[in-house]
Amino acid sequence: MSTAKVAVTMDERLLERLDRLVRDRAFENRSRAIQEAVSEKLARLERGRLARECAKLDPGFEQSMAEEGMSAEAAEWPEY
């Protein structure tokens, strides 16, 4: 995967906390720490968007759509 160099400006206290994590070997370097943080934040935002979209669904309608045609198919299923 290719990478691109970017410049980031941040609060000095936040940078000190980041450097402490790098010093304690939680991350190999600042870049890796920032890359992981951004990746996790984007994933969290995407999950939130998915949850919001799912909340818009009508459970009754979705259930009826899932069961549509099931009665015909169920008759063909073997008995257990």
Pair 30, 22: CB distance under 8 Å: yes
Q: How far apart are CA 38 and CA 33, in angstroms?
A: 9
Residue 5 belongs to a domain? no
Is 80 among the domain residues?
A: no
Angle of helix 30-55 relative to helix 12-23, nearest 10 degrees?
Answer: 110
Domain holding 31, by residue range, is 12-71
* pTM exceeds 0.75, yes or no: no
Q: How many residues comprise the chain?
A: 80
69 three-class SS: coil
Q: Note whether residue 7 is domain-resident.
A: no
Asked whether residue 18 is domain-assigned, the answer is: yes
Q: How confident is the model at residue 8 (pLDDT cuts 50, 70, 90)?
A: very high
Is position 79 within any domain?
no
Query: Is residue 25 domain-resident?
Result: yes
Residue range 14-35, pLDDT digits in tens: 999 999 999 999 999 999 999 9
Domain assignment present for residue 48? The answer is yes
